[in-house]
Amino acid sequence: MNVSNVVDNEAFQTTKSQNAKRIQHTMHLTKEAILKLDRIKRINIINSVSGIKPANLIGTKSKSGNNNLAIFSSVVHLGSTPGYFGFIMRPTGEVRRDTYDNIMETGVFTINHIHASFAEQGHYTSAKFDADVSEFETCGLSPEFKLDFEAPFVKESTLKMALKHVETVPIKATNTIMVIGEIQHLFFPDSSMNEDGMIDLEALDDIGISGLNTYYQLKKMASYPFARATELPNFDS
């Protein structure tokens, strides 16, 4: 293992006042400075600064029967009754987007968490393979079909869900779209959920993403009660 890649968690366990003193913002980038950066550097910086993003593989199938799998870091929860999720799709114009085309053809897709054991395979699903090539095969993951749902799940994923497409929202500012789906089925090991329904992602050994190529394992730090203005802890201590 490359020692320089090992993170010493102890070093980061500072109090908030120690942290505020320790941090020096030696980097300040204005909008203009960001625009002048080398393209790749700009993309890497901007893709990193939102913080950790969820690591998911979206499974679809074309009408002609080709399975497709691609990594997406932009999955976001939109509603709980019923469950709604959206993800951001880059411009669909000039480049072929199999995930989008398949969802438009079949109306369904799956979202599958990436487990630490197949981070690298998950990453390589982002490569541009021909439409008739299945990323399941090229990246060594197994398609799984459940309950007559038309889109493939990732067999190796610990948490997976089946969604029905309900809406596509154009985002004019970035020429992207948000594809929105409603949960039809949800699968995960019940041992990972507590009596309140909280799912322990560390126990699942699922991972997070920074930027477009860096993957993090997750460490549960704390759970807090529902925040009420009348029940604040003493933050001075």
Ligand X SMILES: Cc1cc2nc3c(=O)[nH]c(=O)nc-3n(C[C@H](O)[C@H](O)[C@H](O)COP(=O)(O)O)c2cc1C
To ligand X, the closest distance from the beta carbon of 110 in angstroms equals 13
Q: With respect to ligand X, which residue has the nearer C-beta, 90 or 155? A: 90
Q: Is 104 exposed, middle or buried (0-12, 13-18, 19+ CB in 10 A)?
A: middle
3-state secondary structure 17-46: HHHHHHCCCCCCCCHHHHHHCCHHHHHHHH
Q: In the set 63, 128, 185, 220, which binds ligand X (CB under 6 A)?
A: 128
Residue count, binding to ligand X (CB under 6 A): 18
Q: With respect to ligand X, which residue has the nearer C-beta, 73 or 158? A: 73
Q: In whole angstroms, how far apart are CA 12 and each of 19, 210, 220, 233?
A: 9, 18, 15, 23
Applying CB under 6 A, does 165 fall inside the site for ligand X?
no
Stretch that binds ligand X, among 17-25, 90-98, 161-169, 194-202 (CB under 6 A): 90-98
Residue that the structure tokens 């009660």 belong to: 225
Q: Considering only residues 33-72, where is the footprint of ligand X by CB under 6 A?
A: 68, 70-72
**Strand residues in the chain grouped as ranges (E):** 53-54, 56-61, 67-72, 76-80, 83-89, 108-113, 143-144, 153-154, 160-171, 176-187, 207-210, 214-217
Applying CB under 6 A, does 92 fall inside the site for ligand X?
no
Nearest to 162 by CA among 90, 228, 123, 112: 112
Applying CB under 6 A, does 161 fall inside the site for ligand X?
no
Q: In the set 119, 154, 179, 209, which binds ligand X (CB under 6 A)?
A: 209
Q: Considering only residues 211-230, where is the footprint of ligand X by CB under 6 A?
A: 212
Q: With respect to ligand X, which residue has the nearer C-beta, 99 or 110? A: 99
Task: Kindly state the tokens that stand for 14.
Answer: 């500072």
To ligand X, the closest distance from the beta carbon of 184 in angstroms equals 21
To ligand X, the closest distance from the beta carbon of 125 in angstroms equals 6
Q: In the set 29, 52, 66, 90, which binds ligand X (CB under 6 A)?
A: 90
